[in-house]
Amino acid sequence: MKAMVLPRMTNLAENKSPLELADLPVPEPNDREILVRVSVCGVCHTELDEIEGRTPPERFPIILGHQIVGRVDKKGKEVTGFQIGDRVGIGWINRACGECAFCRRGNENLCSAFKATGRDANGGYAEYTTVPGEFAYPIPEVFADGEAAPLLCAGAIGYRSLRLTGMENGDNLGLLGFGTSAHLVLKMVRRRYPLSKVFVFSRTQAERNFAIELGAFWAGEFTDEPPEKLHRAIDTTPVWQPIVEGLKNLERGGRLVINAIRKEEADKEALLKIDYARHLWLEKEIKSVANVSRQDVAEFLELAAQIPLKPEFQEYRLEEANKALVELKERKIRGAKVLKIGG
């Protein structure tokens, strides 16, 4: 099978081709796994964190990719939920222990044995991949493959982030950064919270224009002061400054949720600018998001199908994975990026 493989960690600013095209054997599923013939795989900012070492893979070489849509090609003898030919999705959560206190409470995203697709197990930048049957999801018929792929991570983590904000209809929501996840959150808020206003902060004019096209009430730079205070905010950026700027725009009792697996060190000194009275006093809150649970993905797919919530996306060939990653790094984004792999 063809696959784009990451042989080692590297700096994308210096190496524009971190992935290498390889011809590998088709993997064999174990008794609890399904073999999926991959149709498409979304490109996620987390892949940049893997490549550059902020959330390093357990081993090299590794096949990245965790927003996977394809068809079941083979299944282990203990798999009961799917049949050959079923269309399925695979997300970031690849497995968890199922026995610890976090798993028993439905918070398997916090399990110490959590394993991630495309980081701890080979992912979807390939023609085939495997996953435990209980960690795959049926894809609603309303979605084409390319539409479904970004929902499996960017959509699901956006859904979890929005839920953790405590958002209520009529609240002002700030989106710090406007990539794949944020544009799906904006679409979701417009449908679920019709009395709410969404304020988008981005460093690029193209992203700000895109936000207004999708129905944002206001869009500006991170250092701009919005015309109204924010009751809730979600940060999806890889850096610290937006958090500092966002906190000062929060209303009293407001909550800022950080949707990022790691933060870059480049502007860590921005944290020194936090002033307790201005940024945190009056019961402002900061909360982080860690991974997603299977329940998040399943609930979001159902919700997205009901709306229906369909992402904007750009399509690339598997061999163009490096191009898509570099564009993501350089903030050349309009919605999601998806690799077209199979038919």
- pLDDT tens profile 306-320: 999 999 899 999 999
Amino acid identity, position 261: I
Q: What is the pTM of this model?
A: 0.93
Q: Where do the DSSP E strands lie in the chain?
A: 2-6, 20-23, 33-43, 62-63, 68-75, 87-90, 93-95, 115-116, 128-132, 136-138, 172-176, 197-201, 218-220, 230-235, 250-258, 285-288, 313-317, 336-340
300 shares its domain with 253: no
Structure confidence at residue 332 (pLDDT): 86
The count of domains in the chain is 2
* Residue 109, both tokens: 């995203």
73 shares its domain with 121: yes
90 shares its domain with 209: no
32 shares its domain with 140: yes
149 shares its domain with 10: yes
Q: Please give the average pLDDT of every successive group of 10 residues along the chain, which has 343 residues.
A: 98 95 98 98 95 94 98 96 96 97 96 97 98 97 96 96 97 96 95 97 94 97 97 95 95 97 84 90 96 95 94 95 95 89 84
268 shares its domain with 301: no
Q: Residue 19, Cα to own-chain centre: how many angstroms? A: 20
Task: Report the candidate in 82, 108, 150, 110 with the shortest Cα–Cα distance to residue 294.
Answer: 108
284 shares its domain with 312: no
Can you give the CATH number for the domain in which 296 is found? Answer: 3.90.180.10
Question: Is 217 in contact with 198 (CB distance < 8 Å)?
Answer: yes
Please give the residue range of the domain that contains residue 177.
156-288
Structure confidence at residue 333 (pLDDT): 79
Using DSSP's 3-state secondary structure scheme, residue 274 falls into coil
Element (H, E) at 213: helix 205-213
Can you give the CATH number for the domain in which 200 is found? Answer: 3.40.50.720
11 shares its domain with 135: yes
125 shares its domain with 34: yes
What residues are paired with 174 via a beta bridge? 199, 233
125 shares its domain with 61: yes
pLDDT in tens, 57-108: 999 999 999 999 999 999 999 999 899 999 999 999 999 999 999 999 999 9
Task: Report the candidate in 5, 117, 139, 116 with the shortest Cα–Cα distance to residue 69.
Answer: 139
Structure confidence at residue 268 (pLDDT): 85
43 shares its domain with 160: no
110 shares its domain with 181: no
